[in-house]
Structure 1
Amino acid sequence: MTASRRPDSVSDRVQPFALAPVSAIAAVVAVVLTALSGRYGFHRDELYFLAAGKHLAWGFTDQPPLTPLLVHLSTAVFGSTPMGLRVLSTLTAAATVVVVALIARELGGDRRAQTFAAGCAAIAGFPLGIGHLASTATYDLLAWMAIGLFALKLLRTGDGRWWVAIGLTTGIALENKYLVILPLAALLIAVLVVGPRSVLRSWWLAAGIITAALVAAPNLYWQATHDWPQLTVAGGISDDDGVENRIMFIPLQILQLSPFLVPIWVAGFLRIWRSPNLRWSRPVALAYPILCVVVLAVGGKSYYALPLLLILVASGATPTLAWLTRGRTAVRRNLLAVGALLTAVTSVVFSLPVLPESAVNFVLPVNPEQGEQIGWPALTTAVAEAWQQIPEADRARATIFALNYGEAGAIAHYGPAHNLPTAYSGHMSFHDWGPPADTQSGPVLLVEQEPTPYYESRFGTCHQVGTVNTGHDVDNEEQGTHLTLCAGPTHPWSTLWPALRRYY
């Protein structure tokens, strides 16, 4: 079957691309992120990715392999520092800004609208926040934007060959995070509801599915042969945080992107829904509320649906610029300028490490990830001081056991400077990297956020020997962490190890 196409009057309607201004905006984003990438320190997830990069595989307990691989490549080339680790994240954030502009172009936006859409993406809190860090969400956002762009091209032109591009991008995204299934499912439902269903009647759809499956196959095989641990992790997160996620879903959707952008993405939704010229793009607009319903149903996090809002923001660029030309234009332009400035300032303050560490508690209710970049060297120093309390003769048989991957990752990264041994943990993939040798039957130094009888009971008599002070009274997860010294494992590590696994 040959690729079907819409008439040229529809398929050739895109405007010239605003290459220079959009590239300039993306460059500014890259410069800002680079300038701030060395502030504070590693995020707990980044410390985990550093450790995972030393155990590269086709899968991990809680995620596919792409982000650890990219972290490993970035640090290998640019250095094992926060700045070196975040180079690829910075480039990804800049690329996301460009793709948002291309989406505006696909929706009929002229050069001004494309530039405006890129500017909105550049000052939005969520893209800036995840662009600052090396995280699965960083690369996921770019993948979602690319899939949105290719889906719009498919819907606009009717050219089924775009299914292959969608399939390839989906396969790559599945090697990073499985969340991409949600927007694709929402988009499919939307196409079935409002059409054009003709795009589903093509052999190219099958080609796209096969392409995605082939690219994602190595990780899917790894998960299948390891009893699908990622599904266990996802279920635990939903059970643990589902109620809070549902309550905060709408407020965080507004705050994490920006309240200023709400009228723009609402205008973008209405434009797609009402404009006869954009009737073909209705599935992309309808996919957002469908996705919200799905995320709420499963108790997912608010940011799971945020990428689709950026598509609506891109659509809203054209009506927003048209609004500026009606009525009291000077007043409207001033309002827009003030709103954009306030958005840029608040996004930078809440998403990027610009505040002194002593003031970071101010932003934690909206963005707790800021606090998780502070205090890891201090934690490792406290662990080293507690380690010195073990008699020197016993240290060769002693073990450090951390209850979460952030603690274990911090000790793995900063510990060698303190002559600390390898830290073990049962959390996520640290469990897969093996138990201590059974010969390590001596004292166990537990690093635990709070006393945990389940673990302490497996290591004999325990007593607290220290407390972690991450500095500046930052209210993050590790502030006040207990350092507990136990007599030793109650059973050989190889016997005890299965009971120490922790999925969330």
Structure 2
Amino acid sequence: MSTAPPVTAGRSVTSSASESSPGERWPFATVSVGVVALVFALVCVLTTGRYGYFGDELYFLAAGHHPAFGYADQPPGVPLLARAMQSLFPDSLVALRAPSLLAAVGYLVLTALSARELGANRVTQVCAAGVAALAPHLIASAHLLVTYSFDQTLWACVVWLLLRAARREHRGQPANGPLLAAGLVTAVAVQFKLLIPVLWLVAVPMAMLFGPRRLVLRPGLWLGGLLAVLSAAPGLWWQARNDWPQLAMARVVDGETTGGVRAFLNASSHQLGPVGTVLVLIGLCGLLVTPALRPHRFLGVTVVVITVLFVVVSGRSYYTAGLYAVLLGAGAVVAQLWWTALGKYRRQWPRWAAAAVAMACCLFTGLPPAVGTLPLTPAPRVNPHNVVARASLAWPSITEQVARVYRALPRDGTETAVITRDYWSAGALHHFGPRYGIPEVHSTSRGFWYLSRPDDAVRRVVYLGGERERLRELFGRVRAVDSVETDPALPTYYDGMRIWVLEDPKLPWSRLWPRMHHMSLW
């Protein structure tokens, strides 16, 4: 099967794919890629509500009830989405996670579109999307309403638009349209995570070094950049007013992340799966050295520089997930070029046989880790190291036990507050607490601390977590009244955690609350 693009005016029938201009593209495989996306979406919908709310999702629901231009640990995008979905579809996990699923489906489509920009035919586009659908990280992100579910797709969209811009510049056409669109997407991205400026700060210099140099002179680039800066301004104002908690959060991430090149690459490999890892490596090498992909070489160098940067600052491995789409597309195109180069040998193979062998190999190696990522394991058999699953179990039970202590307190007119040391449980008590009689909850942890604090009239606290010695420094009376007990078959992080009753705060809450704040989870 020839993979050369259709014949166009003024072009020889014998031209190979490797000789084609980057300006020539195959039609998009709309139906086939749509089928891949539909199957992916259906599988995710059928499995997304297996366990329960993840701790971060509960925090986002609480943050959404305190609208702001920014939060200590993220911009306002996800909290506002969480509030909107909860308002439209109360207590529906499937609905809450629907935006993340749509973002993951968009990522699949952008992978195929990126492959098309690089010269992929219809079959190659579908293969690129299929490999992306098997990536464990993408499957996991489709099952959770979290910041990176959107950030990675928005990065992939910006990179795809840069591919389009580079192709237009290679043809001698101004790329103002794609560049302006990339700025608009960036303006949306900074409402979900503040990482995408890193992409621009690296990609623009790389375009100046490796071309197309005219890209950085286009008005569309700078107008799009201005729109992105204006979009980020309210969040930056909030950060400045609150002493830049995002910087403190970066130090926490550094402390929570296992550093080093090996750990970063190993985690990235697990996120991509075996097939995705191989195709990404092929794609990276292709962007860097393949002549047919030379107009896009600056993006290959950008990937290398960003990866090194995140390794150096101990960033989390999924920070680079937005770059996988273009690498998967490039890897598929390189494989297509190899297939074309082996023309005289592949004629001995029927087209369907070669496709069947390739598909069988991909499914045999890529399907097990993909299926293993789905939340199919019965809750009692969840791996203790599965953080997402363990932090999605027994929230109503934990809430009920804290509420039982709260309700048992004497009704003597003493103002009482409910506080937790970690923001996961605070989110759970915020969400489930009203049905058990808890009116409001506060937390000393991370971004939840900024949402609210106890009134100065509060003289008694029901407190979840913490250590007696530390609490005695802050309160006159400290009593342990209960411990969290959940189903032994459903292990959580809260089993055995103390529930305290604290009385007589030693300082006014305006001074006590800052002393209790910490940016860690626990």
TM-score (normalizing by structure 1): 0.90
Farther off after superposition, 248-257 or 69-78: 69-78
2:330 to 311, 315, 320: 315
SS of structure 2 residue aligned to 1:119: helix
Q: Give distance in 1, aligned partners of 2:330 and 2:492.
A: 38
The amino acid that maps onto 1:177 is: K
Q: Give distance in 1, aligned partners of 2:272 and 2:439.
A: 42
Q: 1:431 Cα shift?
A: 2.2
Residue in 2 that maps onto 1:181: 197
Q: Give distance in 1, aligned partners of 2:298 and 2:457.
A: 61
Is residue 344 from structure 1 mapped to residue 367 from structure 2 by the alignment? yes
Counterparts of 1:23-422 in structure 2 under 5 Å? 23-158=34-169, 159-161=174-176, 162-238=178-254, 240-244=255-259, 248-320=263-335, 333-334=356-357, 336-350=359-373, 352-361=374-383, 364=385, 367-390=386-409, 392-394=410-412, 396-422=414-440
Q: Give distance in 1, aligned partners of 2:243 and 2:46.
A: 43
Farther off after superposition, 212-221 or 486-495: 486-495
The amino acid that maps onto 1:434 is: S
Q: Is the 8 A contact 1:399 1:440 kept in 2?
A: yes
Number of aligned positions between the proteins: 490
When Rg is computed on C-alpha atoms for both structures, the one with the higher figure is: 2
Is residue 446 from structure 1 mapped to residue 463 from structure 2 by the alignment? yes
Q: 1:246 Cα shift?
A: 5.6
Q: Give distance in 1, aligned partners of 2:376 and 2:333.
A: 33
The amino acid that maps onto 2:396 is: P
Q: 1:466 Cα shift?
A: 2.4
Q: 1:64 Cα shift?
A: 0.8
Long gaps (5+) in structure 1: 1-7
Q: Give distance in 1, aligned partners of 2:163 and 2:495.
A: 47
Q: 1:117 to 1:336 in 2, by over 3 A?
A: same
Long gaps (5+) in structure 2: 1-10, 12-19
Q: 1:219 to 1:103 in 2, by over 3 A?
A: same
Q: 1:22 Cα shift?
A: 0.8
Q: Is the 8 A contact 1:174 1:180 kept in 2?
A: yes
SS of structure 2 residue aligned to 1:401: strand
Q: Which whole-Å deviations, capped at 9, do the CAs of 1:281-329 have from their partners, x for residues lacking one?
A: 1111122221111001111111111221232111112344566776796
Q: Give distance in 2, aligned partners of 1:213 and 1:168.
A: 10
Farther off after superposition, 109-118 or 473-482: 473-482
The amino acid that maps onto 1:306 is: A
Is residue 425 from structure 1 mapped to residue 443 from structure 2 by the alignment? yes
Q: Which whole-Å deviations, capped at 9, do the CAs of 1:346-397 have from their partners, x for residues lacking one?
A: 22322x31110112116x3xx522322122112112212333443x225852
Q: Give distance in 1, aligned partners of 2:258 and 2:44.
A: 34
Q: Which whole-Å deviations, capped at 9, do the CAs of 1:431-480 have from their partners, x for residues lacking one?
A: 223322222212x22111x5264345212332333222343555553343
Q: Is the 8 A contact 1:242 1:298 kept in 2?
A: no
CA RMSD of aligned residues (A): 2.5
Farther off after superposition, 126-135 or 28-37: 28-37
Q: Is the 8 A contact 1:246 1:299 kept in 2?
A: no
Q: Is the 8 A contact 2:22 2:118 kept in 1?
A: no
Q: 1:426 Cα shift?
A: 2.2
TM-score (normalizing by structure 2): 0.87
Task: Name the % identity.
Answer: 30
The amino acid that maps onto 1:287 is: T
Q: Which whole-Å deviations, capped at 9, do the CAs of 1:7-32 have from their partners, x for residues lacking one?
A: x9846311100000111111112212
The amino acid that maps onto 2:515 is: A
SS of structure 2 residue aligned to 1:460: strand
The amino acid that maps onto 1:173 is: A
Q: 1:33 Cα shift?
A: 1.6
Q: Give distance in 1, aligned partners of 2:192 and 2:451.
A: 20
Q: Is the 8 A contact 2:183 2:228 kept in 1?
A: yes
Q: Give distance in 1, aligned partners of 2:276 and 2:318.
A: 15
Q: 1:357 to 1:394 in 2, by over 3 A?
A: farther
Q: Give distance in 2, aligned partners of 1:415 and 1:146.
A: 39
